[in-house]
Structure 1
Amino acid sequence: MNIKQQKSNGYLILEICEERIDAHNSAELKESVLKVIEQGEINIVVKLGQVRFIDSSGLGALLSGFKNAAAKSGKLVLTNIQSQVLSMFELTRLNRVFEIYADAGDVLNAS
Structure 2
Amino acid sequence: MAFKQEMKGDVVLISIEDERLDAHNSNELKEHIQTQLENSVTHIVVDLSQVRFLDSSGLGALVTGFKNARSSDGDLKLTGIAAQVESILKLTRLYRVFPIYNNIDEAIAGFDQKEPGDGE
| Gap regions ≥5 residues in structure 1 | none
Q: Partner letter of residue 59 of structure 2? A: L
**What's the secondary structure of 2:14's corresponding residue?**
strand
Deviation at 1:32, TM superposition (A): 1.0
**What's the secondary structure of 1:65's corresponding residue?**
helix
Higher RCO (C-alpha 8 Å, min separation 6): 1
Deviation at 1:53, TM superposition (A): 0.3
Deviation at 1:2, TM superposition (A): 1.2
Distance (whole Å) between structure 1 residues aligned to residue 45 and residue 59 of structure 2: 15
Deviation at 1:43, TM superposition (A): 0.5
**Contact 2:54-2:88 at 8 Å conserved across structures:** yes
**Contact 2:78-2:107 at 8 Å conserved across structures:** no
For these two proteins, the number of residue pairs brought into alignment is 111
Deviations along 1:55-91, one digit per CA (max 9) or x if unpaired, are 0110000000000000011000000110100110110
Considering only aligned residues, what root-mean-square deviation do their CA atoms show, in Å? 0.9
Q: Partner letter of residue 108 of structure 2? A: L
Q: Could you tell me the TM-score, scaled by structure 2's length?
A: 0.89
Q: Which has the larger radius of gyration?
A: 2
Deviation at 1:108, TM superposition (A): 2.4
